[in-house]
Amino acid sequence: MTVGDSEATAAWPLAKRVLLRFAAAFFILVFFPFPLDLIPSASLQGLLNRATDAPVRAMARLLHVSVDIRPNGSGDTTYSWVFLLCVVIGALVTTLVWSVIDRRRREYDRAWIALRAYLRFTLAIAMIRYGAAKVIPSQFPPPTLDRLLQPFGDASPMGLLWTFMGASAAYTIFAGAMEMLGGLLLTMRRTALLGALISMGVLVNIVALNFMYDVPVKIYSLELLAMGAVIALPDLPRLVDFFIRNRAVTPAPLPRFWRNRIVGIAGIVVRTLAVAAVVLTSLQQVRAMQKMYAGAEARSPLYGIWRVDDFHVDGKPIPFNDPARWRRVIFDLRFMASVQLMNDSRQRLSTQLNEKTRTLVVSRRNEPAWDGRLSYARPDPETLTMDGDLGAHKVHALCHREPIPKFLLTNRGFHWINEYPFNR
């Protein structure tokens, strides 16, 4: 069916027209500059940041909140919430102006086709990219040594979730495959509804995890779930008839935006090539990320668990009964290390290790007491010494390597037969 058919040009109810205007304004404002950001040479992020910064800061002043911290891996900063409020207000204003200017229009068939395609591909690319990061496990890498040594109750809810996912590569791959399946089905008109339903099923679980384990991707995951709902919404009566009222349903029309057959075929070719490119580049990117976290080159030259047998601060020995004394230093990934104190608390540090100069630059976000530069030496393979400045103090640590335990979490494995529950 084309948009020129009589059924497609029937008048829309006022509420439906207003909702389309709002949905178009909201999602385009939220996800701009998509799809232009897919073009490698298009550098729009700086321009976008400048364009959005002024209204966000103006709204923050009105609300008397600080937005000095921009999104930084956390998508739920105060800045992010104020930005979302600005988008909602902008969408409402756009809807009002659009409704006044275009008040004589009675249908938006072609606009809906275009908007649905925009939502489909925006959601599809997000699902494919997140799925790729799980199919090739990189979003949730295996638990590091410092995580495995961390007291269970000392883990944050988000840290527990990351450990839960990273401990099972098979489950992570399964979760990613479901995300990619939903995304790929969204890219085709005939399977778009199935793709939206699969994506919504996956996203409901993701949203629940984000809220219940305090993962700071709440806003973005809700936006993706809302997109899936909007895509599936026109088919809601058919779904209710089929699944709840046990009624036969008629096939849904597949309206085409382009009436010219050649143009339509060209569009299919372009879509197929674009989706293939997104899948391949996503897999390549996560493969490179996986090497950063799990490859041989990611492992620190000082890899291991080092027991601190002698620890001095400003030339004075620190006794073992001091809770702030270092108990262990743990090296796993090249760019991070952890210090376990005598009270079992863990301090994760960012590190820059230079093997030539045998120096270690360490830092901890917003905690200058852990910023410093240490020199290290290896008198023998089982001994490590570190000396240098940490914060405002000089430190010295004499460490000896501990055997790496066979952690139950990573060594239990899978069993077809369990005569008794193994719940420890």
Domain ranges of the chain: 14-294, 298-402
Residues 179-205: what's their mean pLDDT? 96
* pLDDT band of 257, cuts 50, 70, 90: low
pTM of this structure: 0.89
Please, which pLDDT band fits residue 292 given cuts at 50, 70 and 90?
confident
> What percentage of residues in the chain have a pLDDT greater than 70?
94
The CATH number fitting domain 298-402, selected from 2.40.128.20, 3.50.50.60, 2.60.40.10, 1.10.20.140: 2.40.128.20
For 336-346, what is the mean pLDDT?
A: 92
Q: Are 241 and 235 in contact (CB under 8 A)?
A: no
Mean pLDDT of the residues in the chain: 91
